[in-house]
Homo-oligomer: A and B are copies of this chain.
Amino acid sequence: MAAALERVGSGFSDNPALDILRQRFGERATSGQAICDQHGRGEGWYPSAPPDLVVFAETTEDVAEVVRICAEHKVPVVPFGTGTSLEGHVAALKGGVSLDLSGMNKLLEVNAEDLDCRVQAGVTRKQLNEDLRDTGLFFPIDPGANASLGGMASTRASGTNAVRYGTMRENVMGLTVVTADGRIIKTGGRARKSAAGYDLTRLFVGAEGTLGVITEVQLRLYGIPESIRSAVCQFPDLESAVNTVILTIQLGIPVARIELLDEVQMDACIRYSKLENFEPKVTLFFEFHGTEASTQEQAQQVQELSAEHGGSAFQYAATQEERTTLWEARHNAFYAACAAVPGKKGMATDACVPISKLADCILDTKRDIQDSGLYAPIVGHVGDGNYHLCLMFDPDDQEELGRAKALVERMNHRAISYGGTCTGEHGIGYGKMHFLTAEHGDAVAVMRQVKKALDPDNIMNPGKILSL
């Protein structure tokens, strides 16, 4: 892993493109060390790989201009949203320009009648839902962090609602993209479906900025359900909880959220988020969306399944406030794990498997954790077969780091061997490129052909997803 942090060559600090950009963007272009350091790291455990320059874009045209200048001088461009990704996506491995889109934070249009909207790439998911409040609509995709929509599109993010509403793959209708030569294109459209040509939207979604820079995102929205019921159920052990999940999905009960926290994670969350009336036991958080009658019916069906597996009586969140507390606690699970063992760093994992393999995978992983002696709470969007460890390790202890990496290796190869993936929602970045090959084999060569065609000089976020 260390090799990835050594710059190939000497960076681009002397490249004439930097002065051109400084002249053009004035105070919006900076090489200040603190800002460059901050732009060279996400929330993952990787050390910072700072860019030579950070440019703060305000418009799609700004982005196109930066990319054209960089393209002319073959300088790398690394898009930056909120810096909350977990696999080193924003690291400027070869130096170059970090293109900060956080100032592109306008909600450009809301088509309430069509349940869609268009945002600039720097709009965050929380801002979007605040801006939508008066429309009766919401956008459901909710990764743990308050990420930007451009970043969420680029990593094909999801979160707790994906079991019902899908991921960014299903919810991005179209994009404005600046290509590697600085052209501005629009992909997709506002119709619910289209068979018109190659699906460029879904090619750029999940491409992690390696094929172009996403500057605007057209999103599907949903009406806020007439009835929302949140409930919590605690289980005697992991197997019972996971089997409840598997049956719920197999029976097609349209749950909106079904989240697992193991007893270690629950303990951390109770303390970090000051949750009351819960025990540090394996726990499922549920949410049901629909009409009054249908959420009641769904909750009853799932409660029966839970009871058959030894689950406690459902504890319902009676008020909006209680519901918010509950889901905030869930979203802060990673931070809760970090707080539980101060001084350590968190290595996130992100396996996702077919639902029938979920119990085997999680139980085997639990045994691996116990064997490793590491602190590693389990949390998961289990309705999708997706689960995470927050693997805590001491960054100064190479032996412990080695144990953590070995655990991640076993977990990801297990998921892949069961027909699953090494990443359900975080992306590949530069930390998981060898898993990508294990997972997709010869198809990676086709990905490489696409990359070379769209970015022949390899200036778009080089060193991520694919080695060229």
Q: Which segment, of A203-211, A332-340, A363-371, faces chain B?
A: A203-211
User: Is A128's CB within 8 Å of the partner chain B?
Assistant: no
- Would A155 and B195 count as touching, CB distance under 8 A? yes
Complex interface bits, A210-223 against B, C-beta within 8 A gives 1, otherwise 0: 01000000000011
- Would A193 and B297 count as touching, CB distance under 8 A? no
Q: Give chain A interface residues in 126-183, CB to chain B under 8 Å.
A: 155-158, 162-163, 166-167, 169-170, 179, 183
Which residues of B have CB within 8 Å of A207?
A: 198
Complex interface bits, A185-212 against B, C-beta within 8 A gives 1, otherwise 0: 1110111111111111011011100010
Pick the most buried of A192, A202, A350, A426: most chain B CB atoms within 10 A of its CB: A192
The smallest C-beta distance from A148 to any residue of chain B, in angstroms, reads 16
- Would A354 and B190 count as touching, CB distance under 8 A? yes
- Cα separation A386 to B415 with both chains bound (whole Å): 39
- Would A191 and B294 count as touching, CB distance under 8 A? no
Give the residue of B197, B350, B356 whose beta carbon is less than 8 angstroms from that of A428.
B197
Complex interface bits, A70-82 against B, C-beta within 8 A gives 1, otherwise 0: 0000000000000
- Would B354 and A193 count as touching, CB distance under 8 A? no
User: Is A450's CB within 8 Å of the partner chain B?
Assistant: yes
Pick the most buried of A116, A187, A191, A439: most chain B CB atoms within 10 A of its CB: A191
- Cα separation A113 to B360 with both chains bound (whole Å): 14
- Would A195 and B420 count as touching, CB distance under 8 A? no
The smallest C-beta distance from A254 to any residue of chain B, in angstroms, reads 8
- Cα separation A385 to B251 with both chains bound (whole Å): 30
- Would B196 and A169 count as touching, CB distance under 8 A? no
- Would A191 and B291 count as touching, CB distance under 8 A? no
- Would B442 and A446 count as touching, CB distance under 8 A? no
User: Is A266's CB within 8 Å of the partner chain B?
Assistant: no
User: Is A423's CB within 8 Å of the partner chain B?
Assistant: yes
Give the residue of B184, B356, B432 whose beta carbon is less than 8 angstroms from that of A111.
B356
- Cα separation A427 to B198 with both chains bound (whole Å): 10
A/B interface sample: 24 pairs, CB < 8 A: A115-B249, A156-B193, A156-B195, A158-B193, A162-B192, A169-B202, A185-B445, A186-B440, A191-B352, A191-B385, A191-B424, A192-B386, A194-B352, A194-B423, A195-B428, A197-B439, A197-B443, A197-B447, A290-B294, A446-B454, A449-B454, A450-B453, A450-B454, A453-B453
User: Is A97's CB within 8 Å of the partner chain B?
Assistant: no
- Would B443 and A196 count as touching, CB distance under 8 A? no
Which residues of B have CB within 8 Å of A267?
A: none
Give the residue of B169, B185, B189, B451 whose beta carbon is less than 8 angstroms from that of A419.
B189
Complex interface bits, A423-467 against B, C-beta within 8 A gives 1, otherwise 0: 111111000100110011111111101111110000000000110
- Cα separation A225 to B253 with both chains bound (whole Å): 10
The smallest C-beta distance from A176 to any residue of chain B, in angstroms, reads 10
- Cα separation A312 to B402 with both chains bound (whole Å): 71
Which residues of B have CB within 8 Å of A449?
A: 453-454
Which residues of B have CB within 8 Å of A354?
A: 111, 113-114, 116, 190-192
- Would A436 and B197 count as touching, CB distance under 8 A? yes
- Cα separation A222 to B251 with both chains bound (whole Å): 9
User: Is A421's CB within 8 Å of the partner chain B?
Assistant: yes
Give the residue of B155, B162, B203, B428 whose beta carbon is less than 8 angstroms from that of A203.
B203
Residue of B nearest to A454 (CB): B449
Give the residue of B206, B290, B355, B427 whose beta carbon is less than 8 angstroms from that of A114.
B355
- Contacts beyond the supplied A162-B192, A170-B170, A196-B439: 14 A-B pairs with Cβ under 8 Å: A111-B354, A113-B355, A114-B355, A157-B195, A169-B202, A190-B354, A191-B354, A192-B384, A195-B350, A196-B423, A223-B252, A293-B294, A446-B454, A450-B450
